[in-house]
Amino acid sequence: MKTIDNYNFHDKKALVRVDFNVPLDGDFNVTDTSRIEAARPTILKILEDGGSAVLMSHLGRPKGKRNPDMSLGHIADKVSEIIGVQVKFVEDSIGDKVEQAYANLDSGEILLLENLRFYEEEEQGEEGFAEKLAQFGDVYVNDAFGTAHRAHASTTIVARYFPENKCFGYLLAKEIKAIDKVMQTGEKPVTAILGGAKVSSKITIIENILDKVDHLVIGGGMTYTFVKAKGGKVGDSICEDDKMDLALDILKQAEAKGVQVHLPVDVLAADDFDNNAKTQTVAVNEIPDGWQGLDAGPKTLDIFKEVILKSKTILWNGPVGVFEMESFAKGTIAVGTFVDEATQNGAFSLVGGGDSVAAVKQFGFQDKVSYVSTGGGAMLESLEGKTLPGIAAIMA
Ligand code: AMP
């Protein structure tokens, strides 16, 4: 794997795809700087070698049109503050203005290009646009994991114009290593904790990881499709009736592959999808009509705890309850505590994909697990076993 450490950027200009798709408030202040901070080590390495960096990113969904509200100019000062170097912002991504700024770029300097998605060619992965971007670097560095699952001009196609001089930045390299550690080289027992709302959105992940894990812990809204398929009563719980055959098939496949599946045995059920609803703990297969399971019950958490604490490699994707409501967040917090404890005991733990990262951050577990992925969709596709085009383009 060619990473930024394989290069000395002395007197070189690096074209770096970063993910600066950060949230802005009404006054265009950056409200969460984690993505900028995540790109910092890569940018600093280039500058410390004596090179310069041309940063390109998207911001929001301008759909191919210039939209001043989504200008990367809004974040230039924040980037300067975090990197510690005054960033030069240019109001375009290609063309004369960029050419001029690029020609004047000295070692130690940073140029930030305008939002790539002001051009529809970006998301179309148009070659001509990629070729124009490719003018602005001696080396191409991809450090944007969040868009690595997209074959866009700046994430994938541009790499063609750097057949020898392309590499992963630190962040992308870290993501690839973390996924590898779970999916290929993880120490056994390997456990996947899968939660979230629906079986249908996780099915490809489940099928892919059955070949890699020893234990599969299933929680969250997905539970009830499995329980009903096995003949249980799930009351008004979220359930995909058309996925019941699939659920039974997954259980059969797991058995054939020697994977132990751990489903909830009890749940905290509520008489409404509301934080103030009446609640009771009931057996997972005896949920009365008018009640819905919204969190894992105590016996379930005991089982999950035992499995998680004996694991050496842990993947966690999806909350085990409706964590957005305080009354139904306890299960997800408990699972976070178990993963924290296992990690302290030496396990490698990766949290990623969709809402799991939000849950982990909300409850302050981000520093207690081994790695929190920065890419929602990109992580889900990696777990599904897909080769991400942005990664393949650097490997080619
Ligand atoms: P996902 O993006 O697939 O990981 O799903 C995350 C969502 O699943 C969160 O918004 C949770 O509120 C939701 N969820 C978890 N458990 C349940 C449940 N028992 N019933 C309904 N929704 C749930």
Q: Measured between alpha carbons, how far is 155 from 147 in angstroms, rounded to an integer?
A: 7
Q: Measured between alpha carbons, how far is 360 from 364 in angstroms, rounded to an integer?
A: 6
Burial label for 88, CB within 10 Å (0-12, 13-18, 19+), is: middle
Q: Ligand 1, from 198, 238, 275, 291: best to mutate by most atoms within 8 Å of Cβ?
A: 238
Ligand 1 atom closest to Cα of 318? 4
Work out the mean pLDDT of the chain and round it to a whole number: 96
Token readout for 234 is 């799930």
Q: Measured between alpha carbons, how far is 163 from 149 in angstroms, rounded to an integer?
A: 20
Residue 45 CA, ligand 1 centroid: distance in Å: 40
163-218 confidence digits (pLDDT tens): 999 999 999 999 999 999 999 889 999 999 999 899 988 999 999 999 999 999 99
Percent of the chain beyond pLDDT 90? 91
User: Does 313 score more than 70 pLDDT?
Assistant: yes
Assess contact for 18 and 148: CB atoms under 8 A.
no
134-167 confidence digits (pLDDT tens): 999 999 999 999 999 999 999 999 999 999 999 9
pLDDT for the residue numbered 359: 83
Tell me if the pTM is above 0.85.
Answer: yes
31-57 confidence digits (pLDDT tens): 989 899 999 999 999 999 999 999 999
Q: Which domains does the chain have, with CATH numbers?
A: 4-174 (3.40.50.1260), 186-383 (3.40.50.1260)
User: Does 294 score more than 90 pLDDT?
Assistant: yes
DSSP string, 313-336: EEEEES-SS-TTSGGG-HHHHHHH
pLDDT for the residue numbered 94: 98
User: Does 353 score more than 90 pLDDT?
Assistant: no
> What's phi and psi for 292, nearest 5 deg?
-135, 140
Q: Measured between alpha carbons, how far is 18 from 390 in angstroms, rounded to an integer?
A: 12
- Average pLDDT (378-382) is 91
214-269 confidence digits (pLDDT tens): 999 999 999 999 999 999 999 999 999 999 999 999 999 999 999 999 999 999 99
Query: Ligand 1, atom 1: nearest CA belongs to which residue?
Result: 196
pLDDT for the residue numbered 356: 75
DSSP state of 185: S
User: Does 331 score more than 70 pLDDT?
Assistant: yes
Q: Could you give the angle at which helices 330-344 and 298-309 cross, rounded to 10 degrees?
A: 20
Token readout for 326 is 């305080």
DSSP string, 35-67: HHHHHHHHHHHHHHTT-EEEEE---S--TTS--
Ligand 1 atom closest to Cα of 202? 3
Q: Ligand 1, from 198, 300, 322: best to mutate by most atoms within 8 Å of Cβ?
A: 322
Q: Identify any residues that bridge with 110 across adjacent strands, giving them in sequence order.
A: 53, 87
- Average pLDDT (294-320) is 97
pLDDT for the residue numbered 355: 67
- Average pLDDT (78-89) is 97
